[in-house]
Amino acid sequence: MLTLQTVADLLQTPLQGDPHLLRFPIRAICTDSRQLQPGSVFVALRGERFDGHDFIPQALARGAVAVISQRPVAGPHFQVSDTLAAYQRIARGWREQFSPPVVAITGSAGKTTTKEMLAAALSRYGTVLKTEANHNNDIGVAQTLLQMQPEHQFVVLEMAMRGPGEIRRLAQMAQPTHALITHIGTAHIGRLGSRAAIAAAKCELLQELGQGVALLNGEDPLLLSTAASLWSGQTLTYRVSGTESHGLESAPHRYRDRGNLRGEWDPQAQTVTVEGLTLPVPLPGRHHALNWMGVLAALRSLGLDWERLREPIALPTHLEGRNRHLKLAGDVEIWDETYNASPEAMIAALHLLAQTPGKRRWAILGPMRELGEHAPQLYAEVGRAAAPLGLDRVLLLDPEGEMQPLLDQKPAAQAERCEDVSELLEVLLHQVQAGDRLLFKAARAVELERVLRRFLQEWQA
């Protein structure tokens, strides 16, 4: 039970106002005044586009029992220097009341899908608390931790990163018992400068693992070498045998993968065979088979057998823009990957498109973000990866022409750039035919999903 006295103790800050409130239980810790329920504590967070202090009167009117603020309030409140840090201290204090395994997942690509697969797999063994939607940052991780209850037997947390120090801060709050790192890629390389810097930032998770277990992608030499320089505790690596990885060029091997867990991937059957046991992979594509091996590694480290995974697991249907497979009238199929894009994820999606049976295969792509000065090289690498796949069409929604290096590699039988949404839709609506297979993928900021929605509306009409 959380009380205002508990909050005062965690924040080492007295309650300003009615001291008799200290012994009463708190209903929740809330950061959104619109969702606040009577008896909750309101935390006035500040962001780039909002200031929660502006909504303190509404929170008190809705029944907030107290406020956590960076300035005096006309009501019961805790005054602190940093409301986000205060919120995270409370979340850590609440997390310390419980002792289930906490699996923290990070990586340049595959975090959300791996989180969903692991949570679905663990649900066959007990009650799971997981990160919802994309609540994987300073606020979201705290929100998830504050939902922990005695009935939760497993906790699965996704942790995102845009710069050094972020993963360490999240891990200090969450105190994970297991750390799963999916991949070191080039997402945010424009912000961090190099893959080595990205690897160091991701591996901050290991530095806060204590006596826990590290679960590492054994196909990623940069990840393995960085981990070896920071972590000497229990480690379980995983990989998929029989087929080369479709990622970008990795750093030289400086740390040999012990190959703890290897799976034989069968793309036709959509299975992996591990230690003589054949298990269905929830999603098609080699990259998903590799992430599934990470899930199996997590279960192994938790002492859980894989027998309950012989039957396919069901993933949530709300992952719009991630691995969404649509079947339209007229035998047209679409892979909706519009939520986000990194070079490695784009290459993996192109390989999945190439393996999808159909008449013609179209890749509708948009720009990636935060590539910085590395952008021309990385676009060219995506184009080179696409060139041997035998794609029929590549259409780029590229108003600024930044993706030209991709086109220069002749990635498909026919490739062209569209300067705006209208031009792209014109091509799609007049040239897509029955039997075609389409992939839509771009950075979230490009809003390629708007093009997809309009295409779906027009096609169905």
Domains of the chain, first to last: 4-83 (3.40.1390.10), 98-309 (3.40.1190.10), 324-460 (3.90.190.20)
Average pLDDT, integer, range 424-452? 94
Does the structure show a pLDDT above 60 at 249? no
pTM of the model: 0.90
Q: Is the pLDDT of residue 102 over 80?
A: yes
Question: What is the mean pLDDT of the segment spanning 29-42?
Answer: 96
Q: Which tens digits make up the pLDDT trace of 186-244?
A: 988 988 999 999 999 999 999 999 999 999 999 999 999 999 999 999 999 999 985 44
SS (H, E, C) the chain: CCEHHHHHHHHCCCCECCHHHHHCECCCEECCHHHCCCCCEEECCECCCCEHHHHHHHHHHCCCCEEEECCCCCCCEEECCCHHHHHHHHHHHHHCCCCCCEEEEECCCCHHHHHHHHHHHHCCCCCEEECCCCCCCHHHHHHHHCCCCCCCCEEEEECCCCCCCHHHHHHHHHCCCEEEECCCCCCCHHHHCCHHHHHHHHCHHHHCCCCCEEEEECCCHHHHHHHHHHCCCEEEEEEEECCCCCCCCCCCCCCCCCCCEEEEEECCCCEEEECCEEEECCCCCHHHHHHHHHHHHHHHHCCCCCHHHCCCCCCCCCCCCCCEEEEECCCEEEEEECCCCCHHHHHHHHHHHHHCCCCEEEEEECCCCCCHHHHHHHHHHHHHHHHHHCCCEEEEECCCCCCHHHHCCCCCCEEEEECCHHHHHHHHHHHCCCCEEEEEECCHHHCHHHHHHHHHHHHHC
Percentage above 70 pLDDT, the chain: 95
Interval 340-359 mean pLDDT: 94
pLDDT of 340 reads: 86
Tell me what pLDDT residue 259 has.
47
- The average pLDDT across 232-258 equals 61
pLDDT of amino acid 420: 93
* Residue pLDDT, tens place only, 285-342: 999 999 999 999 999 999 999 999 999 998 886 566 788 899 999 999 999 999 889 9
Q: Is a pLDDT exceeding 80 seen at residue 56? A: yes
| Residue scoring higher pLDDT (353 or 339) | 353
